[in-house]
Structures are given as structure tokens and as C-alpha cells.
Amino acid sequence: MYTKILVAYNDSPGARAALDRAEALAGALGATLTLVRSVSEAPLMEAAKPETIASGRTDLEREIDRDRPELDAELWVVGGPASEAILAAAVEMEADLVVTGSRHRGAIARTILGSVSSDLVHQAHCDILVVHPTED
């Protein structure tokens, strides 16, 4: 069914819920797991400089080492606006499932700020699973 699972990861509650679900799926299916973080040069949302990507990778490695040291996943950090960068990474790694979290933004915030999960659902070449964060 799925052999290459990409998780759009930014250490938000939605992303952590997405990682939980993706890790369970990967384990059950014997799939590989890749976490992808997008970084950009805010506020311009342009392609990121190499030092920004390196810093993003260091941050991602620290978060994973702190919260999930047993996680068996490849870590990618890519530059650019989140939805574009994640879609490009999914194509490059030939992912057959992208798992992303949801932030539960209201209609106005979605209109102004956009929605990465919505962009992924409408533009991806593969299946998308949107995971809602659990209420604590």
C-alpha cells in the first residue's frame, strides 16, 4: 500500500499528531518515514539561504533527539514556502503518502495566511492524510 511516507513537520501540536499517526502507519506497513521541515526567509517567503537551512536542520535534529530519540526516520530541511517545498520534497523522494497536521484556523486566517494542508490536498501527486491535533 504505502512504502514511502513523508511527514510535514514543524513541531506544532498538529505536526506532532501527524508524526504519531505516520509513525504508526509506517510501522504497520513496513514503510520508510521522512520528516520534512520547510524554512524560508520571512517575511518574503523566498528560498532560504544555506545557513537558514542548516539552522533549521539543527533545530529539527534537537527536537527529534529530545522528544523521540527512538524515531527511525530520515530528516529533510528544505527552503521555500511550506506547501511548495513539501510538495517538491514529496516528488523528489517519490512519496506515496504525505501526512500533515491541521491548525484549525478560522476562515479569515485561512484566507489571509493560507493553509498548507489545503494546498497539499489540492496539489499533491499522491495521497494526503490530514491529522487533527488531539485536545489535551
Q: Which residue range forms the structural domain that includes residue 57?
A: 4-131
Domain membership flag for residue 121: yes
Q: How many domains does the chain contain in total? A: 1
Residue 112: per-residue pLDDT: 40
CA atoms within 13 A on the CB side of 65: 6
35 φ/ψ angles, rounded to the nearest 5 degrees: -95, 135
pTM of the complete model: 0.85
CATH of the domain at 79: 3.40.50.620
Residue 111: per-residue pLDDT: 44
Domain membership flag for residue 136: no
Query: Comparing C-alpha atoms, which of 101, 76, 92 is closest to residue 22?
Result: 101
Summarize pLDDT for 88-101 with one digit per residue, the tens: 999 999 999 999 99
Summarize pLDDT for 12-37 with one digit per residue, the tens: 898 999 999 999 999 999 999 999 99
Q: Which residues contact 49 (CB under 8 A, 6 or more apart)?
A: 41, 79
43: pLDDT confidence band, cut at 50, 70 and 90? low
**SS3 at position 24:** helix
